[in-house]
Structure 1
Amino acid sequence: MNPESTEHSGVAGSGSAQGDDTTTVAVLGLGAMGLPMALRLGTELPVWAFDVSAERRALAVEGGTHGAASPAEACRTADVAVLAVRDEEQLRAALFGADGAVHTLRPGAVVVLTSTVGPEAARSVAATLAEKDVDLVDAPVSGGPVRAGNGDLLIMVGATEQALANARRVLDLLASTVHVVGTNPGDGQTMKTVNQLLCGIHTAAAAEALALARALGLDLETVVQVLGSGAAASFMLADRGPRMARAYTGDVELRSRLDVINKDMHIVGKVASAAGVPTPVAAAATALYTLAMRQGLAAEDDSRLVTLLAPEDGTAGPESTGPRGGGADR
């Protein structure tokens, strides 16, 4: 199958959570992306949702899904299991742990992997699932929580034609654009790795720019508006910039944990090294995320990266002699 792209409204057929559609879905992982995806799917399909956090499960139930006490319970009647976990460790626990999904997934079911775990992990998991006659659709997503809830994600797919067909109903509900980049698990992860290289660099660059602007005494909200109007604009500046401008007040919604982009950038480094391609700019951005992790920002929104470069006292470093802070971010 040749790579292909499809674009659509993200609004699928006439099925409903009351059972008009025969596709039953399990969503494993109800974090920043998983919860809005579960709620989005629940508007059209019966959804069983699981997360290790009882609070997140409760939010999913309040939004119209069925709660499950374990991945195995969530997948007991599932035709499609959507995985929205943080990393490979969580992925393997959800699928192959003592109460993992693999124990109840029926032969012919499909696992849709929306997380970024790297090509090798996707291929390894696909091989293990194949032993149970379960297909893996490698479908990492991009777009953020708001777009996830609106069915407006970009999804990069690597899957066989049959597995893709079995998962298409779910993919169409979640995405406004589905790019089929290959026919094998791992192909989607490879594309997502390239995507994350740019996302990681752009986020770090936005943090550097706003840190410099703060040290020079500029109003950060004005800076974001001005930069977003010209050649310096980027999706990450538009998305993270307003949160970076508010980072010094503490009023920052947790939408994208810093340890997630740190994990993704380390995958970028590993894949690039294996391919023999130098990525010095990505390596510099990765070093910045690693430093932020060591400063205790792992569980913070990645927009707080700006506070590492221009601390809250307004200095730009121990030897800075430039203007001090000021502006709307105070």
Structure 2
Amino acid sequence: MNEVKQLRSNVAAIGLGSMGYGIASSVLRDNHLVWGADINPDQVARFREEGGQPEELSDVAGDLDVVIVAVLNAAQTETVLFGTEGIVKSLKPGAVVLACATVPPVFAKDMAARCALTGVLYLDAPISGGSIKAANGQLSIMASGTPEAFTSARTVLDSIAETVFELGDEAGAGSAMKSVNQLLAGVHIAAMAEALTFGMTQGVAPEKFVEVISKCAGTSWMLENRAPHIVAGDYTPRSSVNIWPKDLGIVLDVAKSAQFSAPITAAALQQFVAAAGMGHGREDDAAVAKVYARIAGLTLPGEAI
């Protein structure tokens, strides 16, 4: 996040979940005027108490410069933008939509085209980094869109991102790169869970697994970030199991359209589907380890013996 404060913008932050709240807070911290919106009124009230603007979005939409959409998926993104109460129709020409959800590239292209019909700019800007980096303004953003969209969103991008990868002047390229990232991230979480529980069958304690493997060639960012959740027996959702059937499903849909075989992705997807089916969908995605543990008859840290 830049040390020097930039020009103040009028910003809507739609979606105040674990990532969206941190994003909104980072923009607010950089002295922009921010209106928060979420289906959970408690989140909106909390954000207003911390400095968010008090008006409803419908009352100020025509004055907004940037609209950050940090919701779960493509369907929610489309509803926010073009649903019955969609915001795009109320935005001024030149306002920019910063779309952060993981969506198929073809969907991002469609949203950009529909926004352009009313002169609204669209930046295909999926995010990576987790809730802590979101709250600290240190996300990585894989972005694509017109030069005008980048220019209009620049001060807000500076507030929320440590790194902005500019991947082209058309929407879709950002989402394509995000699908590559999610392939690896989802596979790495599942592989971590498999390796940790495999180690347990050989007498390797989970805490020793983290101590040793995090310093060896077999490590990954996801291993170092998620395996400690298993060691602590803490499945408070930083990123939930339910995210992965969606995101890896997108990867496989894109792969299918490209006639590309992605068998490792498909195997990882099935483990997250199994975890959700076992009732762990709203737990931290490290809970995929519970699938392996149940099959092997293992007791994970924090579980009753």
TM-score scaled to structure 2, two decimals? 0.93
- 8 Å CA contact 1:60–1:67 kept in 2: the answer is no
- Shift of residue 28 of structure 1? 0.4
Name the structure where helix makes up a greater proportion of residues. Answer: 2
Q: Which residue of 2 aligns with 1:173?
A: 159
Q: Which moved more, 1:155-164 or 1:290-299?
A: 290-299
Please tell me whether residue 61 in structure 1 is matched to residue 60 in structure 2. no
Picking from 92, 107, 112, the partner of 1:126 is 112
- Shift of residue 187 of structure 1? 0.8
State the distance in 1 between where 2:231 and 2:60 align: 40
Q: Which moved more, 1:44-53 or 1:273-282?
A: 273-282
State the distance in 2 between where 1:273 and 1:304 align: 28
AA aligned to 1:104 is S
Q: Secondary structure at the match of 2:163?
A: strand
AA aligned to 1:32 is S
Picking from 219, 239, 264, the partner of 1:256 is 239
Q: Which residue of 1 aligns with 2:267?
A: 284
Picking from 119, 137, 148, the partner of 2:134 is 148
Q: Which residue of 2 aligns with 1:265?
A: 248
How do 1:90-101 residues align onto structure 2 when only pairs under 5 Å count?
A: 90-101=76-87
Q: Secondary structure at the match of 1:277?
A: coil
Please tell me whether residue 302 in structure 1 is matched to residue 281 in structure 2. no
State the distance in 1 between where 2:217 and 2:58 align: 49
AA aligned to 1:276 is Q
State the distance in 1 between where 2:201 and 2:69 align: 42
Q: Which residue of 2 aligns with 1:321?
A: none
Please tell me whether residue 48 in structure 1 is matched to residue 28 in structure 2. no
Picking from 63, 70, 78, the partner of 1:84 is 70
AA aligned to 1:112 is L
- 8 Å CA contact 2:235–2:283 kept in 1: the answer is no
Cα deviations by residue, 1:267-294 (Å, 9 ceiling, x for unpaired): 0001111112211111111111122222
Picking from 158, 165, 173, the partner of 1:187 is 173
Structure-2 change in CA distance of 1:91 and 1:230 (3 Å): same
Cα deviations by residue, 1:181-235 (Å, 9 ceiling, x for unpaired): 1110111000101111100100110111122233444321221121101101110
State the distance in 1 between where 2:58 and 2:94 align: 16
Q: Secondary structure at the match of 1:31?
A: coil
AA aligned to 1:316 is A
State the distance in 1 between where 2:200 and 2:42 align: 37
Picking from 173, 191, 212, the partner of 1:226 is 212
State the distance in 2 between where 1:276 and 1:75 align: 42
- 8 Å CA contact 1:49–1:57 kept in 2: the answer is yes
AA aligned to 1:211 is T
Q: Which residue of 1 aligns with 2:232?
A: 246
- Structure 1 vs Structure 2 CA RMSD: 1.9
Q: Which residue of 2 aligns with 1:6?
A: none
Cα deviations by residue, 1:229-262 (Å, 9 ceiling, x for unpaired): 1101110001111112233xxx332110111122
State the distance in 2 between where 1:167 and 1:99 align: 23
Please tell me whether residue 200 in structure 1 is matched to residue 215 in structure 2. no
Structure-2 change in CA distance of 1:160 and 1:305 (3 Å): same
Structure-2 change in CA distance of 1:283 and 1:74 (3 Å): farther
Aligned identity (percent) is 36
- 8 Å CA contact 1:258–1:300 kept in 2: the answer is yes
Unaligned stretches of 5+ in structure 2?
none
AA aligned to 1:13 is V
Runs of 4+, deviation exceeding 6 Å: 326-330
Q: Which moved more, 1:207-216 or 1:283-292?
A: 207-216
- 8 Å CA contact 1:11–1:151 kept in 2: the answer is no
- 8 Å CA contact 2:293–2:300 kept in 1: the answer is no
- 8 Å CA contact 2:126–2:142 kept in 1: the answer is yes
- 8 Å CA contact 2:96–2:121 kept in 1: the answer is yes
Q: Secondary structure at the match of 1:310?
A: helix
Q: Secondary structure at the match of 2:195?
A: helix
Please tell me whether residue 31 in structure 1 is matched to residue 11 in structure 2. no
